[in-house]
Structure 1
Amino acid sequence: MTDWQSAFNEFLSTDPTDVGCDEAMRVLEVYVDLVSTGLDAAERMPGVAAHLKACGPCQGDFTSLLDAVTDTPH
């Protein structure tokens, strides 16, 4: 598969609710607060949840921040 085909396939598989890196990072602290207090963050912020599933770097930031506020490795 060529580079453009891979990029096109990735584009087609993107969740339409995905908010993207900028928006996810803008509200990450709120999302982490919801998760750390036991609330269903994915239900309240589905676009952020979709993005964190798809973006490794943002997922890493989420995990690190969650670990920092809960003192429990995730």
Structure 2
Amino acid sequence: MSGWAELDRFLATDPRDVGCEEAMAMLHVYVELVAQDAGAERRYPGIAAHLRACGPCSDDFEGLLAAIGGPAD
């Protein structure tokens, strides 16, 4: 394994991505804003960037959104 795929993924990372820890700390707030159509992505671009890049965190987001009856994609 050469590591090129990992390097490509790293270089494609959105610099606004806040990472798992911060995204999870604020996920409940982000989910509420999405459910209210209150400009969540504009207010928290780092969380939005992270959710686009991280499958497990995105799954948690989708689960919370479904639990509160938020909009489906």
Q: Is the shorter-chain TM-score for this pair beyond 0.5, marking a shared fold?
A: yes
Secondary structure of the 2:68 match is: helix
* Pairing 1:1-74 to 2, within 5 Å after superposition: 2-70=1-69, 74=73
* Aligned equivalents of 2:68, 2:46: Cα separation in 1: 22
Change (3 A) 1:64 1:3: farther
Unaligned stretches of 5+ residues in structure 2:
none
Secondary structure of the 1:18 match is: coil
RMSD: 1.5
- Taking only the aligned residue pairs, the percentage that are identical comes to 49
Unaligned stretches of 5+ residues in structure 1:
none
TM-score of the two chains, using structure 2 as the length reference: 0.92
Measured against aligned partners, the alpha-carbon deviations of 1:13-68 in whole angstroms (never above 9, x if no partner) come to 00000000010000000000101111110000000000000111100000000000
| Displaced runs of 4 or more, over 3 A | 71-74
Q: Give the total of aligned pairs.
A: 73
More displaced 10-residue stretch of structure 1: 25-34 or 3-12: 3-12
* Aligned equivalents of 1:42, 1:71: Cα separation in 2: 15
